[in-house]
Amino acid sequence: MAHYLCEKCGKVIDSNELLGLPGIRCPSCGHRILYKARSQIVHEIKSH
Amino acid sequence: MDVEVLGTTNDQLRLLVREIEPTFMSAIRRIIMAEVPIPAIDKVYIAENTGVLYDEMLAHRLGLIPLKGGETLTLPEKCSCDKKGCNLCESVLTLEVEAKEDNSIVYSGRLKAEGSVFPANNEIPIVKLNSGQKVALVAHARLGLGKEHAKWQPVSACVVKYEPVISIDSKKCELRAVCVEECPKKILAVKGKNLAVTSIWDCSLCKVCEEVCPNSAIRVSYNDRNSELIVETTGSLSTEELVLAACEVLLHKCEDLKNSIKDLPEAS
């Protein structure tokens, strides 16, 4: 599941919480700039 | 064959080998560059990276750091784990850092060795972080060969140079010293009433002296029976260890060939 961060209030938002909203906005403060949060899964990166 | 050390420093060795085939010297040079195994970081697991340098670039930069202490490791191709990675063929390093101030540089010295392998130099910059930015990762180093990737190349320079031969015709030379001034390596000098070569092995065979001499009194050529081998290490192995390791690899190749020929069915 993807997670987003609100640029204004810093709240971590689950992508499901965004589905019911009109457009992309923070469910708690209504700010319209969200960042995609880093995945919790650690991937192997080949050092080429 | 006759070997002489022309010069040595911490990271450079200059060997003069007399009466040797140039092809043999080239074989040693190529083996040093491509077939002497050294450790390098190959897999990186990044838990946190809030810096501006993205994960792949960070992993790439870590891979290029020369590492020491891979003597106890085995090549993954020869390991019993079948290239999956185990503690016999891999060594772990960790990095966990949070910047306290802006523009702070994380150096290779911050890599903490969990196994036998550690950075050869502690002053290689990895990433620049601003205040509060964090990097936390686990890196797995393994042995590899230079022909696979340049990060496993143990030398920054490995050169074979033929012996320069400079012949000066004193009857034609008018001692105008144009060649003395024009020589980029400054190896010519006027001594008394003669033109002399001060250090023959510094000659780069550029032939500028030949071109500027109005009387064609100087001729530059080379003798390919005598060669100079210049080895400049990145720090993973010492220069002496590198030359010896290359000889071992060449010896194993010859033995493999010998054994393969022995195993051939006899021609009927």
**How far is the C-alpha of B99 from the C-alpha of A39, rounded, in Å?**
22
**So what's the pLDDT on residue B118?**
97
Q: Within an 8 Å CB–CB cutoff, is residue A16 touching chain B?
A: no
Assess whether B70 and B144 both reside in one domain: yes
pLDDT at A21 over 90: no
On whether the CB atoms of residues B249 and B35 are closer than 8 A, the answer is yes
**So what's the pLDDT on residue B53?**
95
Q: Which two tokens stand for residue A24?
A: 């992309």
In angstroms, the separation between the Cα of residue B22 and the nearest Cα of chain A is 34
Look-up of token digits 């190896």: B187
Q: Within an 8 Å CB–CB cutoff, is residue B151 touching chain A?
A: yes
Q: How far is CA B91 from the centre of its chain?
A: 23
In this structure, is residue B262 part of a structural domain?
no
Q: Within an 8 Å CB–CB cutoff, is residue B46 touching chain A?
A: yes
Assess whether B145 and B104 both reside in one domain: yes
**How far is the C-alpha of B14 from the C-alpha of B155, rounded, in Å?**
13
- Global model pTM greater than 0.80: yes
Which range marks the domain in which residue B210 is found?
A: 2-34+156-229
Q: Which two tokens stand for residue B174?
A: 């008018």
Cα B238 to Cα A41, B35, B156, B190, B232: the distances in Å are 40, 16, 12, 39, 9
Q: How far is CA B180 from the centre of its chain?
A: 32
Domain count, chain B: 2
Residue A1 pLDDT level (bands cut at 50, 70, 90): confident
In this structure, is residue B16 part of a structural domain?
yes
Q: Within an 8 Å CB–CB cutoff, is residue A41 touching chain B?
A: no
**How far is the C-alpha of B55 from the C-alpha of A44, rounded, in Å?**
10
In this structure, is residue B234 part of a structural domain?
no
Identify the CATH number of the domain in which residue B184 sits.
3.30.70.20
List of chain B residues with pLDDT < 50: none
Q: Locate the domains of chain A by residue range.
A: 3-32
**So what's the pLDDT on residue B177?**
86
Assess whether B12 and B103 both reside in one domain: no
Q: Within an 8 Å CB–CB cutoff, is residue B44 touching chain A?
A: yes
**How far is the C-alpha of B23 from the C-alpha of B157, rounded, in Å?**
18
Assess whether B147 and B164 both reside in one domain: no
In this structure, is residue B259 part of a structural domain?
no
Q: Within an 8 Å CB–CB cutoff, is residue A38 touching chain B?
A: yes
Identify the CATH number of the domain in which residue B127 sits.
2.170.120.12
Assess whether B90 and B61 both reside in one domain: yes
**How far is the C-alpha of B5 from the C-alpha of B158, rounded, in Å?**
15
Q: Do B46 and A48 touch (CB under 8 A)?
A: no
How is B117-163 classified by DSSP, letter by letter?
Answer: -EES-TT-EEEEE-TT-EEEEEEEEEEE-TTT-GGG--EEEEEEEEE
Q: Do A47 and B62 touch (CB under 8 A)?
A: yes
Q: Which two tokens stand for residue B32?
A: 């040093």
Site from B43, B52, B135 to mutate, A interface, most A CB atoms within 10 angstroms: B43
Contacts of B221 (CB under 8 A, 6+ apart): B164, B165, B167
On whether the CB atoms of residues B69 and B92 are closer than 8 A, the answer is no
Nearest CA in chain B to A46: B43
Q: Is B164 exposed, middle or buried (0-12, 13-18, 19+ CB in 10 A)?
A: buried
Residue among B47, B48, B60 minimizing CB distance to A47: B60
Single-letter amino acid, residue B182: E
**How far is the C-alpha of B3 from the C-alpha of A46, rounded, in Å?**
42
**So what's the pLDDT on residue A40?**
83
Nearest CA in chain B to A44: B45
Residues of chain B numbered 57-86 and touching chain A (CB < 8 Å):
59-60, 62-63
Residue among A38, A44, A48 minimizing CB distance to B45: A44
How is B195-255 classified by DSSP, letter by letter?
Answer: EEES-GGG-----HHHHH-TT--EEEEEEEEEEEEEEEE-SSS-HHHHHHHHHHHHHHHHH
Assess whether B166 and B102 both reside in one domain: no
**So what's the pLDDT on residue B217?**
92
Q: What is the interface pTM, i.e. ipTM, of the complex? A: 0.77
Q: Do B63 and A47 touch (CB under 8 A)?
A: yes
Single-letter amino acid, residue A46: K
In this structure, is residue B235 part of a structural domain?
no
Q: Which two tokens stand for residue A26?
A: 């923070």
